[in-house]
Amino acid sequence: MKVLKFGGTSVGSVESLRNVKDIVESINGPAVVIVSALGGLTDQLIATARAAAANDPSYMDSMQSIRSRHLAIIDNVVPEIARQEVTDKVSGLLSDLERMYSGVYLIRHLPQMTLDIIVSFGERMSSVIVAAMIDGGSRHDSLGFIKTEKWYDKNIADQKLTTELIRQEFSRPFKYAVVPGFISTDINTGDITNLGRGGSDFTAALVAAALDAEVLEIWTDVDGFLSADPRIVSDAVLVPHMTFIESMELCSYGAKVIYPPTIYPVFHKNIPIRILNTFNPAAPGTLITDSQCDGDLKVKGISAIRDTSLFHIDGNISGKLKNTVSRTFNALAKKGVKVFNVSRNDARPGMSFAVAKGDADVTYDLLCREFAPELSKGTVSRPERIDNVATIAVVGENMRDNSRLGARIRHTLSRDGIRVEGYSEGASDTTMAYVVDADRLDNALRHIHTLVF
């Protein structure tokens, strides 16, 4: 059995939906099909809700465009015999959505619980359409079997209960089961929640792991993982195969093919992932498995996070570096701040690390609180923050032992006048990381790509 996930661009137009229909109906044997909301709709649902909360009557025009788009797609992709039934179901959901917006407009307030309900309508409507469009399709409502619980202020999947409920849901024979991705319900309150960014990918991974699928196919709008962003590096190449760890590293550092947490459930079950293109289904895509294959590229790709801030802690920590790193990471982790890498700068002692620019203010405050005793004694200097930098990751096989490549990368960047603010080599089996001026990022990516590919 296969599990297929189709993202927003794959279900965003009449043309792409017809491709989805052909892809699914060509499968011999049962398949579970996870679908996102129509392309761009989730952002529109959120923007419309915020307009309503701001007492902006233009929310009604946006609501009308949402209605018109869905009804037009039904007219074009759903077989005539089922069209009226689907129109009635989706129209009912659209009416419920409109009432939600009207309520928000009247009270001029948008609680998080209300926003969660509003964004759920995207997948609820798209899954009704796709299930009716596919010959042999049946809809299975993920609100009944994807369960979350609160962890601090986030909704996280209760994987044990979710696994049990998925197995119950799909214990009866089916041909093509269509499931709305992203959305879920709270195990204690029953309130509608969602799995956050990359939630549809995660839904697909949870289903694949629970049902011991033979493969998880992620259908998107690219041919697979490329060696770099083709918008920046024109000669980027398709990477036929990589490991789970390599794919997680590339996505953690900015590659937007899949969302890293997606991989965990199938990684633990050793279920391969294949990245495929809805608009070019004949392309072989990228296969992701647990280990290297003969003929693999040594370097799998280069990715980057443009909006980065670099922090440096200096002072009397040379003999206490391990403790300093531990205290720093623990303080940041408690607030959900992700550290991209620990960076060396040969010209300076101390410790450097990078975070997303949006986390920079809270990071600075956390560091000042964590090291307040040392700051008051003068044994640690006040944290230094450098904005407008980018973090580049070079991901591949046996990077820890490839010091020669690291030296060549730094030399190549230096030769072009690109200053390396910090770097990490030898700390990871799969990744070398470099922090450079954000304004020079594109040039840096092209130089590194030319060197390693």
Neighbours of 61 (CB within 10 A): 11
Q: Fill in the amino acid letter for 147.
A: K
DSSP 109: -
Give the list of residues 6+ apart from residue 5 with CB closer than 8 angstroms, or none. Answer: 33, 34, 35, 36, 181, 200, 201, 203, 204, 216, 217, 218, 219
Residue 319 pLDDT > 70: no
Q: Long-range contacts made by residues 153-160, C-beta under 8 angstroms, separation at least 24? A: 154/196, 154/336, 155/184, 155/186, 155/193, 155/194, 155/195, 155/196, 157/184, 157/195, 157/202, 157/206, 158/187, 159/206, 159/265
With a cut of 60, say whether residue 351 has pLDDT above it.
yes
- pTM reported for the whole predicted model: 0.89
Instruction: Report the DSSP beta bridge partners of residue 310.
Output: 354, 386
Contact assessment for residue 311 and residue 354, using Cβ atoms and an 8 Å cutoff = yes
CATH of span 2-221: 3.40.1160.10
Residue with tokens 């020669």: 404
Both tokens assigned to 227: 């060696």
Cβ-contact 375, 368 below 8 angstroms: yes
- Residues 82-141: tens digit of each pLDDT: 999 999 999 999 999 999 999 999 999 999 999 999 999 999 999 999 999 999 999 999
Q: Class of the 300-452 domain?
A: alpha beta
Q: Where is 86: in which H helix or E strand? A: helix 80-107
Mean pLDDT rounded to a whole number for the chain:
93
φ/ψ bin of 282: left (φ > 0), alpha (ψ from -120 to 50), beta (otherwise): alpha
| CB-neighbour burial class of residue 10 (10 A; exposed 0-12, middle 13-18, buried 19+) | buried
Tokens of 26: 């060509």
Residue 55 is predicted with a pLDDT of 96
**Alpha-carbon separation of residue 95 from 40, 45, 91, 167, 219 (angstroms):** 20, 14, 6, 33, 31
Cβ distance 362 to 311 under 8 Å? no
- Spell out the domain ranges in the chain: 2-221, 300-452
Three-state secondary structure of 49-60:
HHHHHCCCCCHH
User: How many Cβ atoms are within 10 Å of 155's Cβ, its own excluded?
Assistant: 20
Specify the pLDDT at position 348. Answer: 65
Residue the block writes with tokens 């790193």: 325
Interatomic CA distance for residues 162 and 145, integer angstroms: 6
Residue 315 in this model has a pLDDT that exceeds 90: no
Q: What's phi and psi for 342, nearest 5 deg? A: -95, 125
Give the model confidence (pLDDT) of 247-280 as tens digits.
999 988 888 888 777 788 999 899 999 999 999 9
User: Which helix (H) or strand (E) segment is 370 a member of?
Assistant: helix 360-370
- Which pair of tokens denotes residue 344? 């060396």
What local confidence, expressed as pLDDT, does residue 346 receive?
Answer: 64
Position 155 pLDDT exceeds 60 = yes
Residue 158 — φ and ψ, nearest 5°? -85, 95
- Which residue in the block uniquely carries the two structure tokens 């939630």? 199
Distance CA 47, CA 65 (A): 13
Q: What is the pLDDT of residues 388-436, one digit of tens each?
A: 999 999 999 989 888 899 999 999 999 999 999 989 988 889 999 999 9
User: For residues 266 and 360, what is the distance between their CA atoms, to the nearest angstrom?
Assistant: 33
Distance CA 17, CA 23 (A): 10
Are 257 and 201 in contact by the 8 Å Cβ rule? The answer is: no
CA 451 from chain centre, in angstroms, equals 28
Neighbours of 334 (CB within 10 A): 10
**Angle, alpha carbons 216-123-176 (nearest 5°):** 45
Q: Comparing C-alpha atoms, which of 25, 28, 3 is closest to residue 214? A: 3
pLDDT digits (tens, 9 = 90+) for 201-210: 999 999 999 9
Q: Is the pLDDT of residue 316 over 70?
A: no
- How far is it, in rounded angstroms, from Cα 178 to Cα 11? 13
| Residue 26 DSSP SS3 | coil
Q: Give the DSSP per-residue string, 185-229.
A: EETTT--EEE--TTHHHHHHHHHHHHTT-SEEEEEESSSS-BSS-
Q: Return d(Cα 143, Cα 162) in angstroms, integer.
A: 11
